[in-house]
Amino acid sequence: MILQHPPKLIVLNGPPRCGKDTLAKNYERATLKLVRHVKFARQLKVMTHRLYGVPNPEDYEQFDETKDEPNFEYFYGLTPRQAYIGVSETYIKPTHGLSFFGIKLVELMKTFQEQAIVQCFVSSDGGLEEELLPVVEHCGAKNILVVKITREGYTFKGKGDSRHYYSEEFLSKLGVESKQLVNDDIKSFTDSGFLILRDFVCPIPPTPFPTTSKEPSLAAMPTS
């Protein structure tokens, strides 16, 4: 099937446990999955599960609630996060290149598009420039928004991951827009995050006429 329109993608960029997954999952539910939560690391998790003999390896979310707890049943005392990072940093990236998981994310988006399931996505694990390049090529820079999330006391340091905040210089060269979002309490974080995501997915055109205070549905989607 020929893909008629490039998809829109929001990339949440922030350190571990800053709220990226929470925001992405809640927004996916709020839009009744018209905006789909995806991950650069989805294929990494499936491959790691297969390597360690984890049952139902395709269930890439099965350790999300315990990803920072040592797991002796399958990962020999490593946390799931440590196992994923180990496979990524010592095998996948040295063998297949730094853009590998970006290519895999594009393949996943194409699958959803070809099945006419969804045309808008939110990724909760951005942070490596090389992974973003194939995504920009597929979506187009104007159809990508990077949301940088900060949370006091949480940083990229000490986790062994190669991800970090995208530099504004890098994003500017690509022509990709970015916004800032602070996670200081869950309600304001979710409310502000929803507004940023909604306005990018389905922008509200300015109007000279008075409007009511009623918010449009979060599930509203662009028709073109």
Digit-coded pLDDT (tens) for 90-144: 999 999 999 999 999 999 999 988 887 778 999 999 999 999 999 999 999 999 9
| Domains of the chain in sequence order | 8-62+98-201 (3.40.50.300)
Query: What letters, b where the CB count within 10 A reaches 16 and e where it falls short, cover 134-166?
Result: bbbebbeeebbbbbbbbbeeeebeeeebebebb
CA distance 61 to 222: 29
Does this model's pTM top 0.95?
A: no
Q: Nearest-CA neighbor of 136 among 177, 193, 179?
A: 177
Asked if residue 42 lies in contact with residue 111, where contact means CB atoms within 8 angstroms, the answer is no
Digit-coded pLDDT (tens) for 32-59: 888 999 999 999 999 999 999 999 999 9
